Amino acid sequence: MAIPRVMRDVTVNDLEGAGRLALLTSTDPRRLEWVRRFRVSTRAMYSLAGKSPKFFQEVAQILLNSPNLMELCLPKAEYFLAAHPDLIERLISLKSLRVVEFGGPGNQAVRLLASSKSCLQSISILSPLRVPPLASISSVRVWEASDADSHQLLGNSQWMGVHEATWRSSYISLNSLSYTFPNLTTLCLFANLYNFRTHPEVRYECGESPWKHLDHIIGFIDDFAANQNNLFPIRRLTISESTPIGLWEARDAIPVLAVCSPVVLDLTFGPEACCDFLRESIPFLNRLKCLRTVLSDTTSIETLLNWIPSIGEHIGLIPLVAYCLCIRRPYTVTVDDTLMDWDFPTTLAESVPSTRFVALDMEEGGSRPIWWRVTRTDGVVRTNRVGNDVNDTVTDMLFSCDGKTDVIAQVEAFLHLWPGSGQLEEQTCQ
């Protein structure tokens, strides 16, 4: 007896793909019992809306027979759900659904979310239609909205369980966000249209946080610069841009650092802007322990090799514990090999004399830094690569530094429990 092909992740990109999937599952409907993640591409949904009823019928039929869905992504959700009312009841009855991403949701989509029998954990809303505010769902931990009006979408409800909220290109109020999500630990603000500075009703006294547990703020410089009067000290600050910015824009962030005074700082700047910005920001970085800089993949290898030895001239006075250099992909293997042959970790440790850990991150998206442990004895600098088995844990420990506990002692004690970790590929520089 043949074993049916297992399908866990399904993405429908066009009418032909939907037809093939419908044909495949019609021969053995049991295959759909294995589907956990179902996504319809935005291009397919918008290009076929009103033109191909067959496409939507086949997608609806697949969803009707997928009883164990955990993640669902539907662009143009209201249009789709309104055309298939039987599907709404079916999705409401699911008990395994955890992640929902709806584009253009309206009354039907809101009803689905509000009535779901599942323990939803993450909701993402893109360009909602004008609907009554969505009532709080206690199980949700992650909230994301794009092209939305926060007050219109959420009203006066409070989402006590949400720990991470992201707002993109939206009309938001810091005042309403702090009321709606009082237990946030991470807040992401990207290219939002609502300028807090021009609205006195949302002002907070400098140094006062409207959140008790907020730990990490992520956003674009424009969002921070426009709202510097509403910011407050924060453990981790990430200034994230789609492309590394220059010094002119970077200077807008200096007053932000003066208020936020982060312990962990992530920057996406060009090489020259990064050094100049850090040099001008030194008076406001007295709490900084862990620094990560992201450089563009368009940075030439020659520029990079010349830049690394000079970075100490700009940040040598900052008492850093850890420094991570992230180079955005795509990067060629030749560049990787050149950096390794050039003894990158030891040179970086020499350039930033206070560091006890240095890292290089060349993964796409910047998510997997490779760490080296730094020792300094009688003017001799040695770097030892941290073992792959504990590298992710070391990353988490260093980026969780709070400025109060001795993170060096914590990491050293952890590495001591793993023989061989931090003792590989030793390199020396005098």
pLDDT in tens, 62-86: 888 889 999 999 988 998 898 888 8
| 286, pLDDT greater than 80 | yes
Q: How many CB atoms lie within 10 A of CB 210?
A: 16
Residue 388 confidence class, pLDDT cut points 50, 70, 90 = confident
Share of the chain above pLDDT 70, in %: 78
CA angle 15-125-39, nearest 5°? Answer: 30
The residue among 292, 383, 297, 381 whose CA lies nearest residue 336 is 297
| 419, pLDDT greater than 70 | no
The distance of Cα 93 from the centroid of its chain, to the nearest Å, equals: 31
b/e burial code for range 265-284 (CB count within 10 A of at least 16 → b) = bbbbbbbebbbbbbeebeeb
The predicted model gives 353-382 an average pLDDT of 83
Q: How many CB atoms lie within 10 A of CB 302?
A: 9
Span between the terminal Cα atoms of the chain, in Å = 68
Looking at residue 397, its pLDDT comes to 94
Question: Residue 322: phi, psi to the nearest 5?
Answer: -140, 140
Q: How many angstroms separate the CA atoms of 103 and 45, rounded?
A: 10
The pTM score is 0.84
CA angle 407-409-411, nearest 5°? Answer: 70
Residue 331 confidence class, pLDDT cut points 50, 70, 90 = very low
Q: Which two tokens stand for residue 254?
A: 């200096």
Angle of the 53-64 helix axis to the 85-93 helix axis, nearest 10: 30
Give burial (CB, 10 Å; 0-12/13-18/19+) of 165. Answer: buried
Across all residues in the chain, what is the average pLDDT? 80
pLDDT greater at residue 257 or residue 338: 257
The three-state (H, E, C) secondary structure of the chain, written as one string = CCCCCCCCEEEECCHHHHHHHHHHHHHCHHHHHHCCEEEECHHHHHHHCCCCHHHHHHHHHHHHCCCCCCEEEECCHHHHHHCCHHHHHHHHHCCCCCEEEEECCCHHHHHHHHHCCCCCCEEEEECCCCCCCCCCCCCCCEEEEECCEHHHHHCCCCCCCCCEEEEECCECCHHHHHHHCCCCCEEEEECCCCCHHHCHHHCCCCCCCCCCCCCEEEECHHHHHHCHHHCCCCCEEEECCCCCECHHHHHHHHHHHHHHCCCEEEEEECHHHHHHHHHHHHHHCCCCCEEEEEECCCCCHHHHHHHHHHCHHHHCCCCCCEEEEEECCCCCHHHHHHHHHCCHHHHHHHHCCCCCEEEEECCCCCCCCEEEEEEEECCEEEEEECCCCCHHHHHHHHHCCCCCCCHHHHHHHHHHCCCCCCCEEEEEEC
The predicted model gives 8-24 an average pLDDT of 74
Looking at residue 429, its pLDDT comes to 47
Q: How many angstroms separate the CA atoms of 176 and 192, rounded?
A: 14
| 262, pLDDT greater than 80 | yes
Looking at residue 216, its pLDDT comes to 94
Cis peptide upstream of residue 330 (ω within 30 degrees of 0): yes
CA dihedral 318, 324, 326, 332 (to 10 degrees): 120
Share of the chain above pLDDT 90, in %: 27
For 295-306, the pLDDT digits (tens) are 765 556 677 777
Residue 334 confidence class, pLDDT cut points 50, 70, 90 = very low
Q: How many angstroms separate the CA atoms of 346 and 429, rounded?
A: 6
Residue 357 confidence class, pLDDT cut points 50, 70, 90 = very high
The predicted model gives 357-383 an average pLDDT of 83
Q: How many angstroms separate the CA atoms of 163 and 259, rounded?
A: 23
Residue 245 confidence class, pLDDT cut points 50, 70, 90 = low
Most confident among 26-30, 217-221, 248-252, 324-328 (mean pLDDT): 217-221
Looking at residue 280, its pLDDT comes to 81
Looking at residue 203, its pLDDT comes to 44
Residue 193 confidence class, pLDDT cut points 50, 70, 90 = low
Looking at residue 206, its pLDDT comes to 45
